[in-house]
Structure 1
Amino acid sequence: MVEEEHKVAVLRPPYAAPMQSAVINICSGDTSVPDHIIWSLFNTLFLNWCCLGFMAYAYSVKSRDRKMVGDMIGAQSYGSTARCLNICALVVGLFLTIGLIVLIATGTVMSSHALSQMMRRNGN
């Protein structure tokens, strides 16, 4: 009977084990303030009408520099300015690119139409 009591005692869960918890503080750091540098670089390389893309890239670099120094308010200010300039550069760039394509297409159609009319006049 002593063996059976020993087995039962081993199988019971311990009731007096204290619960322990750990608190981990994660500092968000660089991820809380976006600098939009990739978007600015894209606008600088591809949609740089009126130099808005280059200006956005300059503000993005300033925002990244402010983050490195630890000035999160300045980084946020430069980052939001870079975002606004990127939006303006994208909108202006798309409108001017589409306008240029439409202008070239209509110019080609008009010149071919004028050329065909000139050929008909010379043929008569």
Structure 2
Amino acid sequence: MHPQVYPTEAVPLQGVNYGGLPGQPGVVQHTAVNITRGQPVITEAPKDYIIWSLCCFVYSNPFCLGLAALIYSIKARDRKVVGDVDGARHYGSTARSLNIAATIIGAIGFFIFIITISVITAQAASHYNYRY
């Protein structure tokens, strides 16, 4: 990014005339000041993972990990609004870890459920077809 340059402004110094006739504009000394700012430090705002936490809370909440992730996400968002970047980063990192754990445990539980239903259905079908 380029440093931001504000427009220069010509300000007369107490109407001092150098030459010219009285009552007519003469040469007026102006002072121009260019104000530039240094390169802004671009830091990415810490993530709060609020959407992921809501999904974990609503759809898979094993051992209340989704609820804990949602609480830490809200804390991270509050810290970010206040301006505490380090606190927001810490709470966001914790929320991310809890979301990962809740997602993995929820996915494993879902797959175990599907496999169990499939096995029970297959055994029931084979038992039903068994002839005495």
Compute the TM-score of the two structures, normalised by the length of structure 2: 0.66
Match for residue 96 of structure 1? 109
More strand by share: 2
3-state SS, counterpart of residue 32 of structure 1: coil
User: What's the CA shift string for 1:76-96, capped at 9, x where partnerless?
Assistant: 111100000011011111111
Residue 61 of structure 1: CA displacement? 0.3
More helix by share: 1
**2 CA distance for matches of 1:44 and 1:23?**
45
**2 CA distance for matches of 1:26 and 1:37?**
28
User: What's the CA shift string for 1:22-79, capped at 9, x where partnerless?
Assistant: 65755657x4211111111111122222221111111000111111222221111111
106-115 or 41-50: bigger deviation: 41-50
The within-5 A match list for 1:1-124 is: 23=37, 26=40, 28=42, 31-117=44-130, 120-121=131-132
**Cα RMSD (Å):** 2.2
**2 CA distance for matches of 1:80 and 1:98?**
27
Residue identity opposite 1:54 in structure 2:
L
Aligned length: 99
| Deviating 4+ runs (over 3 angstroms) | 20-29
Unaligned runs of 5+ in 2: 1-33
3-state SS, counterpart of residue 66 of structure 2: helix
Residue identity opposite 1:88 in structure 2:
A
Residue identity opposite 2:102 in structure 1:
A
**1 CA distance for matches of 2:85 and 2:56?**
24
Unaligned runs of 5+ in 1: 1-19
Tell me: higher relative CO, structure 1 or 2? Use CA pairs within 8 A at least 6 residues apart. Answer: 1
**1 CA distance for matches of 2:42 and 2:78?**
17
Q: Percent identity?
A: 38
Residue identity opposite 1:38 in structure 2:
I
**2 CA distance for matches of 1:55 and 1:75?**
15
